[in-house]
Structure 1
Amino acid sequence: MATLTPARTATDAVHASLVPSACPDDELATHSRRDPYWDRLWAPGSQALWSSRPLLAQRKAEKPAAVNSRYLMDEAEAMRLLTINQGRRERLAAWGALDSWRTVSAEQLAAITGSRLFLNPESSNIAASVSLELMDVGAYSSPLAVGGTLDRNCLYRPSNTDAFDKLIAPELTWPEWISVTGGYPWSGGGQYDRHNLLSTELALRAAEYLPIGAVMGEKFSTVDLLAGTGLGKKVKNPDNRRADGTIIRTDGLRIAYELTGTASKSLENKVRRWAQLISERPLETSGLTVLFITAPHPDRPRNRSGDPRDEIYRRVSSVLKEFPGTRADSPAARIGIVAWDEWFPARHELSEAFFSLSADFALNNVHGNGKWVKRDLLGDYAFTPWNTFDATAVVDQAPLLSATPHWMRSGDRTELIGSPMDRAGETAPVPGPVKPELSRGRVFGKGVGKAGDAKLPPRLRL
């Protein structure tokens, strides 16, 4: 049987430490973080080892010295720590990142928020969040990967409870709630440890090194947002389908990505659903493309019979045959596939293919690996939005989300949401001058001398 996988050629790669990173803290940049793919933090098929408050309480009862009491503080003390002004901005960013990306490492969370405090799982924000059953702390399953204590190598995920809605949301202002949740319900589900860490790492690396407009986590990569209500349209049976993340170009082109480590019927169904959706949504009115990234375990067999990569390509190709055509709007032209180790060929290395987001597309009408054509999603992939489609609106609004890496959401974006009175459709009352005859016509609220203009309180701004 002829292989369907393109021949792999060696590409130039550079260590991440030699490439300027947009992350302003060198200790939190890619080359300083654990590499979730090449560091062999997972045995094949394994999951992380998680600790929630109930589990920690049980362990404490059995062996008091085994658990730090900070993870078991009472509700009043935990709420005090989680509602004080100190560290509020970073705390909101951490909750937003967990809600959006689902599972993150301590290093990834510190990079997203810009706060090294999250490198310490015993810091006040983490310990109080665990105490309220708002989040869980975890460790890699491989005993060879890290030491025996929780440190910057630990993992975080949202707890599967209603603690956020019951305890945290009532304490947030509307802008704060929007920044954390995007206006959608908080969710504690959808946790797949290695899968989620790789998805988050890809988004972070794209945000650090590529000239892109935004990155979106799993929560904001739903079919409904990418092709339904996010475009002002309806999707038939949108259910809960979503990509693992989305990279958005500066012109608004969406690159929704799906990571996969195995070839399965489930993979075929995913490809088929995306292909069907793409066939119903022209590129010029949706900006939607989909990229499947093969990321099997690095210690897998490298022969053709043992490496799942070849079978993944074969199955993707087979499904795309159900949707004939290779024109610009066809599924074949908008669903690509690439291997993780083509973009990142070794620990902390970045290849030329990554800098252009090069991927394979089944565009040639031939059998075997000749059907695959390399296209650069950051290069020769053309996209011209329809004149009624504001493709870059999402780029403008992404900085409102605290899950966005902090260097991509600097500045004040309050004008995008307005003041509470703006949202209520009311006009702020402007008192007249006490002595009109002496008035110089200064605008109400305008600064005088060294005093700046009047602004909304910090918690009402974004």
Structure 2
Amino acid sequence: MSIDQSCFDPLDDIWWRMGATLNWWDSTLGHPPAWMPDQNEARARLTGRRPLLLRALALIHEHRTATTGQLHQLDPRLPARPDSRFWLDMLAAGLIDYGYPFNPDGRTACTPRTIPWMAVRLPAHMQIEPALEDMGFNPVQIAALGPGPLRGARQYDRHNLICTDLSVRARQAGWHTLGEAYGRFSMLTGDPLAGNGGPDLILQGEHARVCVELTASANMALESKFRRWDRILAHDTCAATHVVWVNAARTGSLLTTLDAYCQTRGRQHAADISQWRQTWATVDGWHPQPGNPQPADPQWCRGTLTRMAAMFGFDSLDGWNLPAGFDTGLLYE
């Protein structure tokens, strides 16, 4: 029996005694274990649950790594228990990998029914677009899952799970959030030359955008990261953007370093993870409020096509008979 997923705290060092990564079962390696459903049967069941499957994949891709409990908190329609049929079917279909904490005593507990909690990610060694095409999903539905290739991205699991925890808490506080997949400098600035780097998490409010940089070490690149943000914040599109450098190290000394870098920068702030996720207040007293954020466009593809039609002289899309799959509002509820 799995423990209540709400008991999982990514800051609890009990889960990271063996390092900052999890023990992952790779869907592309080895034979499937006996407890895993048949792949064809799993894909047939998932095809009958298209909206829920797309929602799960979009959230996983956006946040890189998340526990099933965190995904349930982001969208209550998704099951929290790792041994639910839905997650087992996604594993069998090759759409996700699953990970669990290493056990220092060497005993094995590696099935979704016995592990304390289960993290999921997109497969690290393959892209899932071909599998989705085989299941009958159209290009717009696949594109709506988020930018970039649909595969697992390299990152420390502790880092990703802390960011997902922050996303859950920020949404509960009234913010819209965008995970790392959307945190690209080119998307923030509208400048394709700005590059694909970016923040770990974005909080979007009514009047402000808060970019979260989760930091656990003061390495040699830290100062250059601050200078890069100086250049990004100088863009007109980032006039209402702030950066919060969150100390996620196990000691408080890094917070002093982050605060020192921020003191001469008007829209860059330092915060400690324990304080930030509870009060959203920074060391310098800045306390952003979400207000009433505007909802995302549920028909982004139709809006894009409308603008394209206008460029070619068409008044509207009336009569184009666009399929219902072009309306992907289910991903933005």
Aligned to 2:235, which of 281, 287, 297?
A: 281
Structure 2 counterpart of 1:374: 285
Q: Does the 8 Å CA contact 2:65/2:120 hold for their aligned counterparts?
A: yes
Equivalents in 2 of 1:107, 1:159: separation in Å?
A: 19
Equivalents in 1 of 2:35, 2:224: separation in Å?
A: 47
Distance 1:313 1:82, change over 3 A: same
Equivalents in 1 of 2:98, 2:158: separation in Å?
A: 15
Structure 1 counterpart of 2:46: 82
Structure 2 counterpart of 1:195: 159
Equivalents in 1 of 2:84, 2:28: separation in Å?
A: 17
Q: Does the 8 Å CA contact 1:165/1:186 hold for their aligned counterparts?
A: yes
Structure 2 counterpart of 1:101: 63
Alignment of 1:358 onto 2:262 = no
TM-fit CA distance, 1:376? 1.6
Q: Does the 8 Å CA contact 2:61/2:122 hold for their aligned counterparts?
A: yes
Question: How far does the alpha carbon of each residue in 1:30-87 deviate from its partner, in whole angstroms, 9 at most, with x for none?
Answer: xx34121136321263310010224451xx6xxxxxx33425x34x334323312xx3
- Map 1:261-276 → 2, pairs under 5 A: 261-276=216-231
Equivalents in 2 of 1:293, 1:429: separation in Å?
A: 49
Give the residue type in structure 1 aligned to 2:168: L
Distance 1:291 1:44, change over 3 A: farther
Distance 1:429 1:315, change over 3 A: closer
Structure 1 counterpart of 2:11: 37
Aligned to 2:211, which of 256, 259, 275?
A: 256
Q: Percent identity?
A: 19
Question: How far does the alpha carbon of each residue in 1:260-304 deviate from its partner, in whole angstroms, 9 at most, with x for none?
Answer: 1222113233222112322x225x75422111111123xxxxxxx
Aligned to 2:174, which of 174, 199, 211?
A: 211
Equivalents in 2 of 1:421, 1:285: separation in Å?
A: 27
Equivalents in 2 of 1:177, 1:50: separation in Å?
A: 25
**CA-atom RMSD, angstroms?**
3.5
**Is the deviation greater in 198-207 or in 154-163?**
154-163
Equivalents in 2 of 1:168, 1:204: separation in Å?
A: 27
Distance 1:311 1:137, change over 3 A: closer
Give the residue type in structure 2 aligned to 1:428: G
Question: How far does the alpha carbon of each residue in 1:164-193 deviate from its partner, in whole angstroms, 9 at most, with x for none?
Answer: 211204622455334422x54423223320
Structure 1 counterpart of 2:199: 243
Structure 2 counterpart of 1:21: none
TM-fit CA distance, 1:109? 1.4
Structure 2 counterpart of 1:226: 188
Q: Does the 8 Å CA contact 2:56/2:78 hold for their aligned counterparts?
A: no
Gaps of 5+ in 1: 1-26, 61-66, 298-306, 327-331, 345-349, 361-372, 384-391, 401-412, 431-454
Q: Does the 8 Å CA contact 2:123/2:152 hold for their aligned counterparts?
A: yes
Give the TM-score, by structure 2 length: 0.80
Q: Does the 8 Å CA contact 1:33/1:108 hold for their aligned counterparts?
A: no
Aligned to 1:128, which of 86, 89, 114?
A: 89
Distance 1:239 1:374, change over 3 A: same
Alignment of 1:296 onto 2:249 = yes
Query: Secondary structure of 2:202's match?
Result: strand
TM-fit CA distance, 1:200? 0.5
Q: Does the 8 Å CA contact 1:97/1:109 hold for their aligned counterparts?
A: yes
Give the TM-score, by structure 1 length: 0.59
Structure 2 counterpart of 1:141: 102
Give the residue type in structure 1 aligned to 2:180: E
Alignment of 1:117 onto 2:28 = no
TM-fit CA distance, 1:115? 2.9
Give the residue type in structure 2 aligned to 1:113: D
Question: How far does the alpha carbon of each residue in 1:198-251 deviate from its partner, in whole angstroms, 9 at most, with x for none?
Answer: 00100100111x233x10000111111112x2xxxx254x33312111011122
Question: How far does the alpha carbon of each residue in 1:372-408 deviate from its partner, in whole angstroms, 9 at most, with x for none?
Answer: x3222229xxx9xxxxxxxx7xx332xx5xxxxxxxx
Distance 1:187 1:286, change over 3 A: farther
Equivalents in 1 of 2:304, 2:218: separation in Å?
A: 50
Give the residue type in structure 2 aligned to 1:240: N
TM-fit CA distance, 1:116? 5.0
Give the residue type in structure 2 aligned to 1:176: Q
Query: Secondary structure of 2:73's match?
Result: helix
Computing the radius of gyration over CA atoms, which structure comes out larger, 1 or 2?
1
Question: How far does the alpha carbon of each residue in 1:85-109 deviate from its partner, in whole angstroms, 9 at most, with x for none?
Answer: xx32221111001111010011011
Equivalents in 2 of 1:257, 1:461: separation in Å?
A: 28
Distance 1:79 1:93, change over 3 A: same
Equivalents in 2 of 1:429, 1:91: separation in Å?
A: 28
Aligned to 1:317, which of 249, 260, 268?
A: 260
Alignment of 1:155 onto 2:155 = no
